[in-house]
Amino acid sequence: MNSNLLIKERIGAIDCIRGFALLGIFMVNLPIMLGIFTPLEKEEVTINQWTEIFLNLFISNKFFVLFSFLFGLSFFIFMSRAEAKGYGKKLFARRLLFLLLFGIIHRLFFWTGDVLLLYAVTGYFLLFFYDRKPKTILVWGVSLILAFIILVHGLAGFMILNDPSLLHGSFPKEAQIEAYHTLGYVDWIIWHFNAEVITETPRHLLIIPLLLGIFLLGLYTGKIGVFQHMEQFIKPLKKIQAASGLASIPSIGLMYYCQVAEDPIALIKAFESLYLQAGGILLSAFYMTTLMLLLRVSVAQKILSPLRLYGQMALTNYLSQTLIGFVIFFIMRLYGSIALYESALICIGVFIVQIIFSNLWLKNFRLGPFEWLWRTLTYGKRQKLSVHRREAETA
């Protein structure tokens, strides 16, 4: 097999994993968009409770980590291709500038939970690491992740021990529900900016150290050539798969206990966010390595192939997920009115439709609509779109 075809297969594997990650992100995001009330009552076991347990144990903080890891890996791929074309770091800085613009528009006019702004801001820090040695990148990545988990979540646990009322968090209030149900769009934007954007954005920016750490692990993977030379890393990948899978079991067990126990031990409950974050890192590593190993098998490649084009249009699909959520929670005025299990079913339905759309679109076009716009803005000239013309590289 020639090297160009091999690289295309490896990039296809990355797109498959990205598509898989995007489904999990939507399943976590949609309930937040729709103002679904949590935590649920434990006295009555319902389909909602089991949906919440499943999301917390196997989805929340896992797929976001997976998606972020791939962003760091994609940064390496983009920079490698840009250098081959004679471009420097300024091209990636320009790319991030427009991602930041997308994020600001997304956050201000549609939904506060946008991650594009965070990715763009954190992405600028990646530029300082691109020329560093792989070992240096790995040390920085692991150190940032561990420091964030221990310091931030550890401190939060001690604060909760001193003041258990902090466990209740902040959930949709009556005024919030009224705003989503009664305000016109212009009035809602003003309310949304004052009540949500200003209060939530600074808190979201606090995760930049963690996000950078995850980005750096993706950059490290690209630097050492895991996807370019997969066969050389089979044994290490299997070891990471086994180790991360086994190591995630205690955190899953503790989270399950916190979810189902009527009166959980205060010490264990206080540090639930720590288990959630640590377990998210470990389980995402298990998901990643499992998918990487599966995608070496031809049967798995065929089964997962629809995810490849879905992941290739990740930006378009991510933004269209928000648009769908916006239609449900604002246009249809269903904010706070949908059950958790119903949001999961909506996610699955949207996911199927988006897969079909992505595969149909990319039969005629090389890039998704927003991917094309982003690339055109990045290079400062209109990019070719039709598949019937000369194939262009995508970064």
**Is the residue at 388 inside a domain?**
no
- Report the distance separating Cα 206 and Cα 202, nearest Å: 7
Confidence of residue 261 (pLDDT cuts 50, 70, 90): confident
pLDDT at 169: 53
Which pLDDT score, from 0 to 100, does residue 395 have? 42
Residue 343: per-residue pLDDT: 93
Q: Is the pLDDT of residue 9 over 60?
A: no
Q: Is the pLDDT of residue 388 over 80?
A: no
Which one-letter amino acid corresponds to residue 154?
G
Residue 155: the pLDDT is 86
The pLDDT, as a whole number, for residue 214 is 97
Above pLDDT 70, what percent of the chain?
90
The number of folded domains in the chain is 1
Q: Looking at the domain assignment, is residue 385 inside a domain? A: no
pLDDT at 324: 94
Name the more confident of 269 and 241.
241
* Position 171 pLDDT exceeds 60: no
Confidence grade of residue 289 (pLDDT, cut at 50, 70, 90): very high
Q: What is the mean pLDDT of residues 382-386?
A: 87
Please state which of the ranges 202-211, 334-343, 352-361 shows the lowest mean pLDDT. Answer: 334-343
Q: What pLDDT is stored for residue 391 in this prediction?
A: 43
Return the higher-pLDDT residue of 154 and 42: 154
| Residue 284 one-letter amino acid | S
Averaged pLDDT, 344-367: 93
What's the confidence (pLDDT) of residue 390? 44
CA–CA separation, 237 vs 289, rounded Å? Answer: 6
What mean pLDDT do residues 308-315 have? 93
Q: Which residue has the higher pLDDT, 44 or 184?
A: 184
Are residues 62 and 244 in contact, defined by beta-carbon separation less than 8 angstroms? no
Is 384 within the bounds of a domain? Answer: no
CA–CA dist 195, 206 (Å, integer) = 19
| Contact (Cβ atoms closer than 8 angstroms) between residue 114 and residue 197 | no
Q: Is the dihedral of CA 28, 59, 238, 247 positive or negative?
A: positive
Q: Is 44 a residue whose pLDDT tops 90? A: no
DSSP per-residue string spanning 199-237: HHHHHHHTTHHHHHHHHHHHHHHHHHTTTTTGGGGHHHH
Average the pLDDT over 11-39 and give the result.
87
Residue 371 in domain: no
Q: At 168, is the pLDDT very low, low, confident or very high (cuts 50, 70, 90)?
A: low
- Would you say residue 372 lies in a domain? no
Q: Does 14 score more than 80 pLDDT?
A: yes
pLDDT of residue 160: 79
Which range of residues forms the domain containing residue 348?
Answer: 3-361
Q: Residue 374 in contact with residue 100, Cβ under 8 Å?
A: no
**Amino acid 170: pLDDT:** 52
pLDDT value at residue 2: 39
Residue 162's pLDDT is 76
Structure tokens at 229: 């030379």
pLDDT over threshold 90, residue 230: no
Please give the pLDDT value at position 10: 58
Question: How many alpha carbons fall within 13 Å on the CB side of residue 97?
Answer: 11
Question: Is the Cβ–Cβ distance between 307 and 15 less than 8 Å?
Answer: yes
Round the average pLDDT of the chain to a whole number and report it: 88
pLDDT of residue 7: 46
Q: Is the pLDDT of residue 240 over 70?
A: yes
Q: Where does 295-332 have alpha helices with state H?
A: 298-312, 314-326
Higher pLDDT, 158 or 106: 106
User: Residue 376 domain-assigned?
Assistant: no
Q: Which of 111-115, 218-222, 381-385 has the lowest mean pLDDT?
A: 381-385
Residue 369 lies in a domain: no
